[in-house]
Amino acid sequence: MKNGVLAYIGIGSNLGDSARQCKDAIAQLSRMSGISVERFSSLYKTEPFMDVPGASEAEMESSGQNWFVNAVAELKTRLSAHDLFRTLQAMEDHMGRVRTYPGAPRVIDLDLLLYGQEMICEEDLIVPHPRMHQRRFVLEPMCEIASYTIHPAFGVSMRGLKDRLDDQKIVLRCEI
């Protein structure tokens, strides 16, 4: 695909065969009209935490969830940010994601991290992802494939964000 916008998608799973589900999501993205998967990171095994606004540190630490498998994919797309977001949500539904409560374990999670250098703040869509700069499980794979990409809100590269990160959760690159 010659024309299009570079977008970055966070991919994660902590139910069932998480590695397979992440790989399947990448394969499905590569078959979609208007989307070309340019690159994708290795898979990373990541320590779980409850990501619920207002949850205490103790609640987040004791979430009792399985470890996640995470990755990041770089896409070139002709879809608008909203259409891409809706496509990702439809993929999650198709792959069996059930939204029971915020931070619940999930078969697949597809987050629109960046859409070019656009900043979108609407009720149904916020880009860049509002917490990506705080998450080691996003920045490790992001730095593997796009370390010099600039965060449009902060004007700092992904490598710079990772270097400033307070998140001490375990994120291990693996060949699963």
| Residues that are catalytic | 97, 106, 109, 111
- The answer to whether 37 touches 29, Cβ cutoff 8 Å, is yes
CA distance 24 to 58: 34
The rounded radius of gyration (Å) of the Cα atoms in the chain is 15
N-terminal to C-terminal alpha carbon distance within the chain = 30
Within 10 angstroms of residue 150's Cβ, the number of other Cβ atoms is 15
- The answer to whether 76 touches 6, Cβ cutoff 8 Å, is yes
For the record, the structure tokens of 37 come out as 């998967």
Residue type at position 124: D
CA distance 82 to 111: 12
CA distance 104 to 133: 21
